[in-house]
Copies of this chain bind each other. A is one copy, B any other.
């Protein structure tokens, strides 16, 4: 069901989150009604508050007026807490009165079938049509089908189900969520940790105000330090990513994108398509745009607390200090097991650090990383040891294990650590455990301005978040354009494509063959084996062929849109010599009388097999892939994606992300030209961009390094209908 969405327009959302006046339509005194819950919430607000009620002069002590037109002022915000059908005329009235912001709480719109969809369309039309009169400022609508907004401290809270209120403290984390229930549960969990919330915004059906605008607003409002976004769909596409990238240049941006398994991956025709399953395109795109991805709400909130309370480190070297040696070892196990984005490494303590530590630690303390203070430690020496480690330039992140069970340790240690951290430039995380008092102590650390977690694995994850953010900020500093979609400096022979594509536009659904695809790649500067194509009609007698320009041995392949897996169909013969060429051509011709036959030079001295490709993601558009190639490509899934056009820097990151990246840096004497591979990928990126909507999937598998160049040994493109 396609429901219309109002077009986006830029607007300052300040009055939505800091309204001077609010009216509640559907205000009610009946217990359990949303209109009552909302009104009760908002009575704590600092804004002037009005109720809209057809009969009453006041509701719960709030002055009431019969309709929006009758309100004594044009309120900044109208909260509509009535059913779907009644919502429409009230929004119309708000628009006519010139109310700048409306929150439509009711469900029963597009999410609820055909009738609801019609109602939603009506809502969209009235927002647009009235707006087009241009006589008044536009009315912006949040929802419908939303819990609305919450701003701790100011009393702005339209959430009409049981939820955390008091426990969320005013702070710098903005939460934008496509799902109300996820946000309620997540913020409820967050409240246990004295979570510093700037504001929550529930998008609901998002017919007007969408993620991108909220991201943009929070990134510039001067009050937000971190943006967390929960998404179930990426339908906003690249504009959303661009808004998030721009925000990421100023502050950390985290996306929790649920629904990681890309539908239809199993049905894809190409390796690239199948390898894009589990939404690796999204993974790659988010990295490209400087957005950090997390796996669940716990991770989202943990990440937000990490960047809120800990400094962003310059590197990934972690030192651990602990009064319990076993936990130090477990922590180091985790650190050494990290790989890929945000990988950590153990810090190597400086000699002077070790000498100083030896002076303040007990005789049997372990002066190494992890620093094991032993259970005999007291607050004073723990504090001094922490301060020594905070001065070591070889430590990027200090992980303090704060267990207060040892007799010499007291709650006073929390304040001491807080002071030491505040006086240092170093990044610090605390793993805190203390039986029944764990939560209390974690909160005390928060109050002392230190990020504390009660789980070792989550503390390590927080360290990875910090390191990743540091990498993003480093890239922003270094090239000033993290995630910028560069214009690829590649020769784009548009003329070739202009004649090539129409061959496959006749509507008969004919797809390019391997030979067609290789001709296209060749035109884009990607080397392919020298070859001769023998068509069924005009092929000369094989025995009379000399293949003078192509040295033996040869690869002989039947190329046909009707054969999907050539090797398995027995349509490929390798290592064909002058002696057996005639026989093999006759055999293949007999078995495949109507297909073209490709005679190619055999490429020898292959040192590395990669796979490269491109596909069109339904939400994010053309995307580029690079990975470990050959037969095992789909077993190891050592692949990575970026959106097209990819910059040289993006492609460099793709090469680094692969498990086989050492191969591209000269592993065990294997030589492969990184720069030439980058050129190949830039060419593919340019090709994918030039193909526009016609690109469905493009596979080069394998793309091999042989001798001194990268060559596309096999290739296939799948076109979308023109």
Which of A129-137, A181-189, A348-356, A378-386 lies at the interface?
Answer: A181-189
Which of A17-25, A402-410, A471-479 lies at the interface?
Answer: A402-410
Whether the Cβ atoms of B261 and A332 lie closer than 8 Å is: yes
Which residue from B180, B256, B455, B565 sits with its C-beta under 8 Å from A298? B455
At the interface, yes or no: A164 with Cβ under 8 Å from chain B? Answer: yes
At the interface, yes or no: A695 with Cβ under 8 Å from chain B? Answer: no
Please give, as numbers and ranges, the residues of chain B lying within 8 Å of A632 by CB-CB distance: 628, 660, 663
Give CA–CA (A565, B669) in the complex, Å: 10
A659 with B631: in contact, given A188-B435, A327-B185, A334-B295 (CB under 8 Å)? no
Q: Whose C-beta in chain B lies nearest to the C-beta of A298?
A: B455
Whether the Cβ atoms of A181 and B295 lie closer than 8 Å is: no
Whether the Cβ atoms of B433 and A189 lie closer than 8 Å is: yes
Question: A200 CB to closest chain B CB, in angstroms?
Answer: 14
**Chain A contacts with B in 77-118, Cβ cutoff 8 A:** 111-112
Q: Mark A549-589, 1 if CB is under 8 A from B, else 0.
A: 00000000000000001011000000000000000000000
Please give, as numbers and ranges, the residues of chain B lying within 8 Å of A659 by CB-CB distance: 635-636
Give CA–CA (A670, B261) in the complex, Å: 28
Question: A458 CB to closest chain B CB, in angstroms?
Answer: 9
Whether the Cβ atoms of A333 and B295 lie closer than 8 Å is: yes
Q: Whose C-beta in chain B lies nearest to the C-beta of A403?
A: B185
Give CA–CA (A181, B433) in the complex, Å: 11
Which residue from B323, B332, B436 sits with its C-beta under 8 Å from A167? B436
At the interface, yes or no: A617 with Cβ under 8 Å from chain B? Answer: no
Whether the Cβ atoms of B670 and A326 lie closer than 8 Å is: no
A436 with B668: in contact, given A326-B179, A403-B181 (CB under 8 Å)? no
Please give, as numbers and ranges, the residues of chain B lying within 8 Å of A295 by CB-CB distance: 330, 333-334, 457
At the interface, yes or no: A454 with Cβ under 8 Å from chain B? Answer: yes
Which residue from B32, B337, B375 sits with its C-beta under 8 Å from A278? B337
Give CA–CA (A435, B375) in the complex, Å: 34
Give CA–CA (A364, B632) in the complex, Å: 43
Give CA–CA (A337, B283) in the complex, Å: 14
Give CA–CA (A457, B458) in the complex, Å: 11
Please give, as numbers and ranges, the residues of chain B lying within 8 Å of A406 by CB-CB distance: 161, 181
At the interface, yes or no: A258 with Cβ under 8 Å from chain B? Answer: yes
Whether the Cβ atoms of A327 and B182 lie closer than 8 Å is: yes
At the interface, yes or no: A154 with Cβ under 8 Å from chain B? Answer: no
Whether the Cβ atoms of A296 and B185 lie closer than 8 Å is: no
Q: Considering residues A326, A406, A455, which has the most beta carbons from chain B within 10 angstroms of its beta carbon?
A: A326
Whether the Cβ atoms of A454 and B189 lie closer than 8 Å is: yes
Q: Whose C-beta in chain B lies nearest to the C-beta of A406?
A: B161
At the interface, yes or no: A488 with Cβ under 8 Å from chain B? Answer: no
Please give, as numbers and ranges, the residues of chain B lying within 8 Å of A278 by CB-CB distance: 336-337
Whether the Cβ atoms of B164 and A433 lie closer than 8 Å is: no
Report the count of interface residues on A (CB-CB < 8 A): 77
Whether the Cβ atoms of B162 and A111 lie closer than 8 Å is: no
Give CA–CA (A189, B243) in the complex, Å: 42
A181 with B336: in contact, given A192-B438, A298-B457, A660-B635 (CB under 8 Å)? no
Whether the Cβ atoms of B189 and A435 lie closer than 8 Å is: yes
Please give, as numbers and ranges, the residues of chain B lying within 8 Å of A323 by CB-CB distance: 181
Q: Whose C-beta in chain B lies nearest to the C-beta of A669?
A: B568
At the interface, yes or no: A325 with Cβ under 8 Å from chain B? Answer: yes
Give CA–CA (A390, B299) in the complex, Å: 30
Whether the Cβ atoms of B164 and A330 lie closer than 8 Å is: no
A329 with B189: in contact, given A296-B456, A663-B632 (CB under 8 Å)? no
At the interface, yes or no: A218 with Cβ under 8 Å from chain B? Answer: no
Whether the Cβ atoms of A337 and B662 lie closer than 8 Å is: no
Give CA–CA (A667, B568) in the complex, Å: 11
Please give, as numbers and ranges, the residues of chain B lying within 8 Å of A326 by CB-CB distance: 178-179, 181-182, 230, 232, 258
Which residue from B188, B259, B334, B405 sits with its C-beta under 8 Å from A162? B405
Please give, as numbers and ranges, the residues of chain B lying within 8 Å of A387 by CB-CB distance: none
A407 with B332: in contact, given A296-B457, A433-B185, A457-B296 (CB under 8 Å)? no
Q: Whose C-beta in chain B lies nearest to the C-beta of A183?
A: B326
**Chain A contacts with B in 178-229, Cβ cutoff 8 A:** 178-182, 184-185, 188-189, 191-192
**Chain A contacts with B in 251-286, Cβ cutoff 8 A:** 256, 258-261, 278
Please give, as numbers and ranges, the residues of chain B lying within 8 Å of A568 by CB-CB distance: 668-669
Whether the Cβ atoms of B32 and A407 lie closer than 8 Å is: yes
At the interface, yes or no: A709 with Cβ under 8 Å from chain B? Answer: no
At the interface, yes or no: A434 with Cβ under 8 Å from chain B? Answer: yes
Q: Considering residues A161, A162, A167, A406, which has the most beta carbons from chain B within 10 angstroms of its beta carbon?
A: A162
Q: Mark A19-42, 1 if CB is under 8 A from B, else 0.
A: 000000000000010000000000
Give CA–CA (A258, B331) in the complex, Å: 9
At the interface, yes or no: A163 with Cβ under 8 Å from chain B? Answer: yes
Listed by A's residue number, 19 A-B pairs whose Cβ atoms lie within 8 Å are A111-B364, A161-B406, A162-B407, A167-B435, A179-B325, A181-B375, A182-B324, A184-B405, A185-B405, A191-B436, A232-B326, A258-B329, A295-B334, A296-B456, A568-B668, A631-B667, A631-B668, A635-B663, A636-B636
The 3 A-B residue pairs whose C-beta atoms are closest, nearest first, are: A188-B435, A181-B324, A182-B326
Known: A188-B405, A189-B435, A635-B662. 18 other contacts (CB 8 A): A32-B407, A161-B375, A167-B436, A178-B326, A181-B326, A185-B327, A188-B436, A189-B438, A189-B454, A258-B333, A260-B333, A295-B457, A297-B456, A298-B457, A565-B668, A567-B668, A568-B669, A636-B659
